[in-house]
Chains A and B, each alone.
Chain A
Amino acid sequence: MTVGDEILDLPAIELSERLAARTLTSVDLTEGYLARIARMQPLLNCFVTVTPERARADAARADAARAAGQQGPLLGLPYGVKDIIDTAGIRTTWGTRAHLDRVPERDADVVARLTAAGAVLLGKLSTTELANTFGSNWPADGLGGAHRNPWNRNLWAGGSSAGPGAAVAAGLCAFALGSETWGSIDCPSALNAVTGLRPTYDAVSRRGVMTVAWSLDKVGPMVRDARDAVMVLRALAQLPISLERATAAGGAALRVGYIDHVGFPSPDPAYDTAWAAAKDVLRASGVPMKPVTLPDTADEPAVFVTLVAESLVAFEGFIRDGHAARMFDRETWPEKIAWLDKLGMTASDYVKAQRVRAQVQRAYQAIFDEVDVLVGPGFPLLAPAVDAKLPSFEAKDTHFTLVTDGNAAGLPAVSLPMGFTASGLPLGMHVVAAGYRDEDALALAALFQAQTDHHRRRPPAA
């Protein structure tokens, strides 16, 4: 049976319900996505590698298992993973020409969990080179070319989880896995109008995932509906995280703190009006809301120092083996390193950064004694053009506090669609919760999505 676009665009949870009711088969759904990928991949470049044979085998196995009585929310659901996440026997490039032939021997833990849950692997999704570490400042520098945004193919899909963001938005998979070290789920979620969960640090295994920075890296789902993220996190989490209240009803019982400014100029008039409207939606839902002042800490340099120090060690072998010389080379490797040398980072900087991160944790613990979640306007920019260099950054007051603090402390967060500009570009909203209270962030997102349809709007490219 041919599966139409109206089915392929559904949230994963609704696809799961149809599979469970056996009104839809995994084989048909998978064929539908593969056909759409074949049509859209040349336009968007969101896959590095498509795995049709693997997908068809997985789907047939899932349908057979269901016919034999097996159940499960992810059974037969097709997905893609960011190409820094290892897949046994399938190349995992880290988004760099230096690793075009890198084929892992074993699956990352997250892939193994999804396989065990019966999910169907469609392929590997694009990422900026090394997930932005030491990377290029040109959006065009992606494997196969620029990672294009389905809302406007002249614009960038964001980074570093570009492929997961674009593929989920364009309806090329039921769900995707992305990763974040400092904004890499949040940014492409906002720019593509998808819902992204950055889980609590350590709640999801990082084994088999390219390391950017050990103490900052997180793997999380990127989906079309907050309820999808609940479903996927349940399969991914290596710790017993409660998710029972991660529903719209659970969201209505939350105490909400909000911030109006994230430290950036507004990127578009619609950003402010969408945020004001979002607050109205939440107030109308009956949740108590109060303004919150965020702590003033050295969070940004603390994350910066941590990232630089840890990534230089993490990529030591990559650099030593000469792979850096095969990266996109608009700036040479010596040029990149020269700048770092000028910084003069010391061991005490790293130690101090970790102490600052503990300060951030304590400050947010105090906030979360008063409220359950913090919500604010999300990623503060619109998607930039794919054919130009990303603009320079010199000033220091460009602090995206919620995202930086959340990553510094290891807090869970959800980015979800908040609205659109007059020209139809997505705007995101950001929700942060206390450690291991991922369900609270998801519950608020579910509550918001129960009252709005931004997340159901589909891009022109789909």
Chain B
Amino acid sequence: MDRRLFLEGLALTTLAGACQTRDPAPVKAITGDGGAGDGGAAPPSVPPPLAKLRGAVVVDDLEPALAFRPLPRPGRR
């Protein structure tokens, strides 16, 4: 089971695999730090989608961004 199941952009993600299977390079496992591992046998402690997010620094403004803020509408640009 992988994250394909949860992406609306099925083609973006599952089909990404289509590109990858054209490449004979072995598929690598993902380590907990978000980097590519050595094909490790152990499952990742933190799957890659969350690892990069959790490692991101996003405290550079004072906006209480608890929800998505749509782009400014016309007339308020």
Contacts and interface: CB of A to CB of B under 8 A. Distances in A.
Interface of A: 128, 131-135, 137, 158-160, 181-184, 187-188, 191, 200-202, 212-213, 215-216, 239-242, 264-265, 267, 297-298, 300-302, 304-308, 311, 331, 335-336, 338-340, 342-345, 349, 351-359, 361, 379-382, 384, 390-398, 400, 403-404, 407, 409-411, 435-436
Nearest to B29: A394
A311 B16 contact: no
A159 B53 contact: no
B49 A132 contact: no
21 contacts: A128-B10, A134-B6, A158-B11, A181-B9, A182-B7, A188-B11, A239-B74, A264-B19, A298-B52, A306-B68, A307-B6, A307-B8, A391-B17, A393-B17, A394-B28, A394-B29, A395-B30, A396-B34, A410-B70, A436-B72, A436-B77
A298 B20 CA distance: 21
User: Size band of the B side of the interface?
Assistant: 35 or more
B42 interface: no
Contacts of B54: 349, 352
A393 B2 contact: yes
Given A396-B30, A398-B16, A390 B71 contact: no
Interface in B5-38: 5-23, 27-30, 34, 36
A391 B20 contact: yes
Given A128-B10, A183-B11, A354-B66, A395 B56 contact: no
A353 B20 CA distance: 27
Contacts of B65: 351, 354-355, 358
A132 B15 contact: no
Contact of A137 (B4, B12, B48): B4
Given A215-B68, A352-B58, A354-B66, A436 B16 contact: no
A308 B4 contact: no
- Among A158, A191, A396, A403, the one with the most B-chain Cβ atoms within 10 Å of its Cβ is A396
Given A202-B71, A384-B15, 13 more contacts: A134-B6, A201-B70, A216-B8, A242-B74, A331-B1, A331-B5, A339-B6, A342-B47, A354-B66, A381-B15, A391-B20, A396-B30, A407-B9
Contacts, number: 224
Contact of B18 (A354, A381, A407): A381
Contact of A352 (B27, B34, B47, B56): B56
B63 A358 contact: yes
Contact of A187 (B9, B23, B52): B9
Which of B9, B34, B67 has the most A CB atoms < 10 Å from its CB? B9
A215 B23 CA distance: 35
Contacts of A381: 11, 15-16, 18-19
Contact of B12 (A213, A267, A400): A400
Given A396-B36, A398-B20, A135 B74 contact: no
A264 B16 contact: yes
A298 B55 contact: yes
Contacts of B20: 265, 391, 393, 395, 398
B19 A398 contact: yes
Nearest to A393: B17
A390 B10 contact: yes
Nearest to A339: B1
